[in-house]
Amino acid sequence: MIQVLVADDDPHIRELLTFHLQEAGYGVQTACDGEEAMTLLMEGSIELAVVDIMMPKKDGYALCQEIRSVYDVPIILLTAKDELVHKEKGFAVGTDDYMTKPFEIKELLFRMKALLRRYQKVAETKLIIGDTTIDRRRFDVRIGDKQLLLPRKEFQLLFQLASYPGRIFTRDELIQCVWGVDYEGDDRTVDVHIKRLRERFSAKTSAFTILTVRGVGYKLQEGSL
């Protein structure tokens, strides 16, 4: 049973989400503040986190950033604030999705299922997107039956983005995933590698597009624009 963390300081929201998520077949663990949520995450059984932004002790932004720095689980932020600036901040700290209260439970369930499908790809050593196959074990990329040779960092960057189609990554996240936490160079190296990947693939396949999310980072979108 997939274990979901619900972190919200409103007991009615916790109770409502617990009921509906359990009805949908999920296990649910709840927290009333960010610190309690991190304690539950440290126990290691959480596979998806639904996090409210306005919480005591540690708000949703800080919690999301801390989760993302340590754990590789999907995160959905919940908030009553619908302004673009709040959404931008949420994606900048590493959330996968963002829902504004009030919301439909069915929509939350749809979004949860979509995120879990994306994250399941990470355990795979071979990703297939349309006519493109990315084999992590062999560091091999093929478009149809034609091999495309990539430098290792470009390959790792592509594999990271392709493992989570639709998820927005900040430059810092991509640097940590590909270059490592001890990297001390310019974060614009990500931009350079993204540009090279676009140049290599744009004329060869319409299976995916690497998009810039202004002010936040990058994401890989399946299909052509």
Residues 6+ positions from 56 with CB-CB distance below 8 Å: 9, 32, 33, 34
- Return d(Cα 207, Cα 131) in angstroms, integer: 6
- Which of 121, 144, 173 is a domain's end point? 121
Pair (103, 129) in one structural domain:
no
**Which DSSP letter does residue 142 get?**
E
Q: Give Cα 167 distance to the centre of its chain.
A: 5
> 161-197 pLDDT, tens per residue?
998 899 999 998 899 888 876 777 787 899 999 999 9
Pair (97, 152) in one structural domain:
no
Pair (97, 197) in one structural domain:
no
Pair (7, 115) in one structural domain:
yes
Q: What is the count of structural domains for the chain?
A: 2
Pair (14, 106) in one structural domain:
yes
Pair (24, 103) in one structural domain:
yes
Pair (20, 96) in one structural domain:
yes
CATH number (domain holding residue 76): 3.40.50.2300
Q: Are 152 and 38 in contact (CB under 8 A)?
A: no
Q: What is the mean pLDDT of residues 138-144?
A: 88
- Return d(Cα 43, Cα 56) in angstroms, integer: 21
pTM more than 0.75: no
Tell me the pLDDT of the chain averaged across its residues. Answer: 89
User: What is the share, in percent, of the chain residues with pLDDT greater than 90?
Assistant: 58
Q: Are 216 and 154 in contact (CB under 8 A)?
A: no
| Segment holding 171, helix H or strand E | helix 171-174
pLDDT tops 70 at residue 122: no
- Which of 91, 121, 151 is a domain's end point? 121
Q: Are 218 and 164 in contact (CB under 8 A)?
A: no
For 49, the token pair is 């986190």
For 62, the token pair is 């800080």
For 66, the token pair is 């801390």
Pair (13, 110) in one structural domain:
yes
* pLDDT bracket for residue 66 (50, 70, 90): confident
**Which DSSP letter does residue 176 get?**
I
Other C-beta atoms closer than 10 Å to the C-beta of 61 total 22
Q: What is the mean pLDDT of residues 38-48?
A: 87
DSSP string, 48-112: EEEEESS-SSS-HHHHHHHHHHH----EEEEES---HHHHHHHHHTT-SEEEESS--HHHHHHHH
Pair (104, 139) in one structural domain:
no
| Structural domain range at position 197 | 124-222
- Which of 121, 142, 172 is a domain's end point? 121
pLDDT tops 70 at residue 64: yes
Pair (58, 128) in one structural domain:
no
Pair (152, 112) in one structural domain:
no
Pair (217, 160) in one structural domain:
yes
> What is the predicted pLDDT for the residue at 223?
83
Strand-strand pairing, 75-79 and 48-52? parallel
CATH number (domain holding residue 194): 1.10.10.10
